[in-house]
Amino acid sequence: DAHRRRPSRRAVALALLAPLVAVLGVTVKGRSDDTTRRTVRTVALVPFAVAGPEAAGRYLSAGVPALLAGSLAEGSVDGEGRRLHTVMLDDESGAEGSTALLVEARAAGAERVVTGSVVWSAGALTASATLLDAADGRTLARAEVTAPRDSVAAIARRLAAQLLLRDGAEPPEHEGALGNLPLPILRRYLCGREALRDGRYAEAVDDFAAVLAADSTNAFAALGLASAADWVRDDVPVGHVLARAW
């Protein structure tokens, strides 16, 4: 019967997944013990410190965090139709993680704060960003990107991807394959990973399927889909999904 068939099907799926797990270094598991992650509705950003020409500094100080805010919000609509809200704080409220900065961010309704800096050098910009928990100032993720000076929008997008991946506890070795996904698709992948960890398998199936619809060769999404589908769906061809991605 179905009750007896399920363990056998899991065994078959895990056998199919084993080579991918070994090569990709992905942990496949069910419900996570860490279910305390709070839903983030608002992120506050402050002007970035800039080392470089004064005229460029004025633009980059406000421009990079503004572009980063747009990138962080891109594709962020949740299951209730709400989009991530970003708010720009008016001034640099002291050092990273300072009490004044955290108080101002919380007053703006933010759960997260982004601080950063930009270094202007010959032919290139190096931008760094730090994601903080507004409740206690803990550093949740750091990102750094170096690119040509005319690539400010691309720099902001790459900073956003790094922050999202690192805040989502994605292993660093996965960034090469995931960091170039369109940001809305990257968010779906990270939502799928969180749903899989929390045992929300039907949601995980939907999220990973959306990623594969955009990138059918994404092995990480294929692995997640196969693992989640084994718990809740009988109509997903696990072997076919993995073979296509692999």
Q: What is the mean pLDDT of the chain?
A: 79
Token code pair at residue 170? 């994605």
The whole-angstrom separation of Cα 107 and Cα 89 is 10
Residue 70 near residue 85 (C-beta atoms within 8 A) = no
Is the pLDDT at 79 greater than 60? The verdict is no
Q: How confident is the model at residue 3 (pLDDT cuts 50, 70, 90)?
A: very low
- Cβ contacts of residue 171 below 8 Å, gap of 6+? 25, 26
| Angstrom distances, CA of residue 144 to CA of 29, 56, 209 | 31, 19, 30
Is the pLDDT at 32 greater than 70? The verdict is no
List pLDDT tens digits, range 189-208: 999 998 999 999 999 999 99
Helix (H) or strand (E) holding 177: helix 175-178
List pLDDT tens digits, range 35-51: 334 466 899 999 999 99
Q: How far is CA 49 from the centre of its chain?
A: 24
pLDDT at site 96: 57
List pLDDT tens digits, range 157-197: 999 999 999 998 888 888 888 888 899 999 899 999 989 99
- Which one, of 157, 211, 222, 193, lies nearest residue 34 by Cα? 193
DSSP state of 33: S
Tell me the residue type at 97: G
Over range 99-104, report the average pLDDT. 89
Residue 177 burial class via C-beta count within 10 angstroms: exposed 0-12, middle 13-18, buried 19 and up:
middle
Token code pair at residue 217? 């060769």
Q: Given the DSSP bridges, would you call strands 124-133 and 42-45 parallel, antiparallel or unpaired?
A: unpaired
